[in-house]
C-alpha cells in the first residue's frame, strides 16, 4: 500500500516532474481538485490529457502492412503471392506503409483506459468521461495491458505530450496490476512500494534537472576506486548507480532517494537506526567517488517521510566525507516540499560553513 502520508495531489506533481510535463496545461485545475482514490487521479489525468490529445490529433506513424490486393501497392511479396496462390485469383500479396493511429503509444492508452473503466476504483462520472474517449480510439487495436513493451515506446518532439500519459499508464499497469481472483479481476487500491520508489527517485532527479541545471544533475554510476596492479575479477564488482548526483565547483553530492514503508530499522533492543545497508551503500559511493581523498564528495539518503515517531535525521563526517539521512514530507503542501528540496543543495557547501549559517 502507498503510505497515506503522501497527499494524492502530490502524486500528480511527482508524476508531472518525473515525466517532464510540469508545464502542461490544466495542471493547476487538477491540483485544485480533491481525489479520494489514486485511481480517480490517474483517470482524471487521462481524461484531460487524452481529450486534449484528440483535439490536437492522435499520434500517427507509418506502420508496415501486408495485404492481398488486386492492384500493386508498395512492394510485391513474391514468396507469399506464390505460397497463397493469389495470382490464380488475380491478386498479389503486397507490403506497404500506412500512416495511421494504430501505434503502440495509442494501443497502450486504449488498453489502460479500458482497464480503469472495467476494474479501477474510479468515480462513475470519470468512468463515463473515459468511455466518451473510446470512440476516438476505434481504429486502435485493444491489447492486453501486460503485453505492452514500455521500454520500446520512444518519444520525440512530435509525441512529447504522450510522455506523462504513458507514464500514468505504466504506473497503472505495473503498480496497480490486475489480480485474478475466482471469477473476477480487480485492481489493487494503491501503488506498490517498488513502483512508488521508482517514481520517487525519478521525481527527485527531474526536480533538480528542471530547477537547478547549474548543478549538472544526473544519475551517473560511481566507479570502484581499486588498485589496478593486483586487481582480479573486477568484472564481478556490482555497479554503483546513483539516483541523483549534483555538482558545484569541486564539490559533489550523491543523493539516494528511498521510499520505504519503514524509513528506519529497529534493532534487537528496540532502538531505531538508519538502515545499515543504505548507510553502507552511501558510504561506499562517497568514498569511491572521492578519488582525491579531500572530502569533496558528500552523500545524502533522502527518505520519504512516514507516520513513525522516529525519522532519519543524521549528519556526520565519516573518514572525511559528510554522510547524512533526512526525510522529505510528501504529505505537506507543495510549497513546503519544494522548500525541503531547495535545502538539499546546501550540502554542496563545506560542512563547517553550512553549520554556521
Report whether pLDDT(70) > 70: yes
At residue 175, the pLDDT reads 61
pTM score of the predicted model: 0.74
All three cell numbers of 209, joined, read 534537472
- Residue 129's nearest CA partner among 26, 31, 36, 48 is 48
Q: For residues 241 and 214, what is the distance between their CA atoms, to the nearest angstrom?
A: 21
Task: Give the β-pairing of 314-318 and 297-304.
Answer: unpaired
At residue 36, the pLDDT reads 65
At residue 308, the pLDDT reads 78
More confidently predicted of 120 and 338: 338
Q: How confident is the model at residue 62 (pLDDT cuts 50, 70, 90)?
A: confident
- Residue 27's nearest CA partner among 129, 164, 177, 163 is 164
At residue 2, the pLDDT reads 42
Give φ, ψ of 349 to 5 degrees.
-85, 165
More confidently predicted of 67 and 46: 46
Q: For residues 266 and 279, what is the distance between their CA atoms, to the nearest angstrom?
A: 15
The distance of Cα 247 from the centroid of its chain, to the nearest Å, equals 23
Give φ, ψ of 353 to 5 degrees.
-65, -45
Task: Compute the mean pLDDT over every residue in the chain, rounded to the nearest whole number.
Answer: 84
Task: Say if residues 25 and 49 touch (Cβ distance below 8 Å).
Answer: no
At residue 241, the pLDDT reads 94
- Residue 11's nearest CA partner among 209, 191, 263, 187 is 191
Domains of the chain: 8-59+102-191 (no CATH), 61-100 (no CATH), 202-356 (3.40.1350)
DSSP state at residue 221: E
All three cell numbers of 17, joined, read 516532474
More confidently predicted of 336 and 229: 336
All three cell numbers of 98, joined, read 500506412
Q: Tell me the CA distances in angstroms from 28 to 23, 81, 157, one per residue in order.
A: 10, 57, 24
At residue 307, the pLDDT reads 79
Average pLDDT over residues 236-255: 95
All three cell numbers of 267, joined, read 534493532
Task: Say if residues 55 and 137 touch (Cβ distance below 8 Å).
Answer: no
- The segment with the largest mean pLDDT, out of 16-30, 65-79, 173-187, 221-235, is 221-235
Q: Residues 6 or more apart from 325 whose CB is under 8 A from it?
A: 274, 278, 279, 300, 301, 302, 303, 312, 313, 314
Helix, strand, coil percentages in the chain from 3-state DSSP, rounded to 5:
45, 20, 35
Question: For residue 300, what is the enclosing H or E element?
Answer: strand 297-304
More confidently predicted of 357 and 144: 144
At residue 5, the pLDDT reads 52
Q: For residues 311 and 84, what is the distance between their CA atoms, to the nearest angstrom?
A: 70
How many CA atoms lie within 13 Å of 341's alpha carbon, on the beta-carbon side? 24
At residue 186, the pLDDT reads 44
Report whether pLDDT(28) > 90: no
All three cell numbers of 96, joined, read 506497404
pLDDT tens digits, residue range 131-140? 999 999 999 9
At residue 106, the pLDDT reads 95
Angle at 106 between CA 104 and CA 112, to 5 degrees: 100
pLDDT tens digits, residue range 83-106? 888 888 888 888 877 888 999 999
At residue 185, the pLDDT reads 41
Q: How confident is the model at residue 151 (pLDDT cuts 50, 70, 90)?
A: confident
Burial of 102: CB neighbours in 10 Å, binned 0-12, 13-18, 19+: middle
pLDDT tens digits, residue range 33-47? 666 677 888 888 899
Report whether pLDDT(305) > 80: yes
At residue 21, the pLDDT reads 64
pLDDT tens digits, residue range 182-233? 333 444 445 566 778 888 999 999 999 999 999 999 999 999 998 888 889 9
Q: Tell me the CA distances in angstroms from 228 to 220, 233, 237, 292, one per residue in order.
A: 22, 11, 14, 16
Amino acid at each position: 500500500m502507498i503510505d497515506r502520508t503522501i497527499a494524492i495531489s502530490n502524486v500528480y506533481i511527482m508524476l508531472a516532474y518525473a515525466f517532464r510535463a510540469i508545464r502542461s496545461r490544466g495542471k493547476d485545475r487538477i491540483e485544485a481538485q480533491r481525489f479520494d482514490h489514486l485511481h480517480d487521479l490517474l483517470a482524471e489525468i487521462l481524461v484531460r490529457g487524452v481529450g486534449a490529445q484528440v483535439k490536437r490529433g492522435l499520434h500517427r506513424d507509418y506502420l508496415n502492412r501486408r495485404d492481398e490486393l488486386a492492384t500493386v501497392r508498395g512492394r510485391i511479396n513474391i514468396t507469399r503471392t506464390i505460397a497463397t496462390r493469389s495470382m490464380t485469383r488475380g491478386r498479389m500479396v503486397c507490403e506497404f506503409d500506412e500512416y495511421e493511429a494504430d501505434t503502440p503509444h495509442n494501443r497502450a492508452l486504449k488498453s489502460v483506459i479500458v482497464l480503469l473503466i472495467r476494474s479501477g476504483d474510479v468515480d462513475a462520472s470519470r468512468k463515463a468521461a473515459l468511455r466518451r474517449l473510446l470512440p476516438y480510439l476505434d481504429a486502435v487495436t485493444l491489447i492486453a495491458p501486460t503485453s505492452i513493451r514500455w521500454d520500446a515506446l520512444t518519444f520525440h518532439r512530435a509525441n512529447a505530450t504522450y510522455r506523462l500519459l504513458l507514464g500514468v499508464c505504466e504506473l497503472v499497469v505495473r503498480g496497480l496490476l490486475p489480480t485474478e481472483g475466482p471469477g473476477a479481476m480487480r485492481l489493487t487500491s494503491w501503488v506498490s512500494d517498488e513502483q512508488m520508489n521508482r517514481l520517487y527517485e525519478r521525481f527527485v532527479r527531474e526536480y533538480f534537472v528542471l530547477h537547478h541545471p547549474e548543478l549538472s544533475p544526473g544519475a551517473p554510476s560511481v566507479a570502484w576506486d581499486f588498485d589496478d596492479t593486483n586487481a582480479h575479477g573486477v568484472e564481478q564488482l556490482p555497479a554503483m548507480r546513483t539516483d541523483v548526483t549534483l555538482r558545484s565547483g569541486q564539490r559533489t553530492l550523491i543523493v539516494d532517494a528511498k521510499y520505504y514503508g519503514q524509513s528506519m530499522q529497529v534493532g534487537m533492543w528496540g532502538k531505531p537506526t538508519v538502515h545499515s545497508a543504505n548507510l553502507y551503500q552511501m558510504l561506499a559511493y562517497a568514498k569511491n567517488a572521492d578519488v582525491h581523498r579531500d572530502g569533496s564528495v558528500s552523500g545524502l539518503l533522502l527518505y520519504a517521510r512516514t507516520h513513525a515517531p522516529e525519522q532519519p535525521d543524521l549528519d556526520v563526517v565519516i573518514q572525511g566525507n559528510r554522510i547524512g539521512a533526512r526525510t522529505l514530507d510528501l504529505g505537506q503542501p507543495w510549497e513546503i516540499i519544494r522548500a525541503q528540496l531547495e535545502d538539499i543543495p546546501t550540502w554542496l557547501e563545506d560542512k563547517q560553513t553550512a553549520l554556521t549559517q
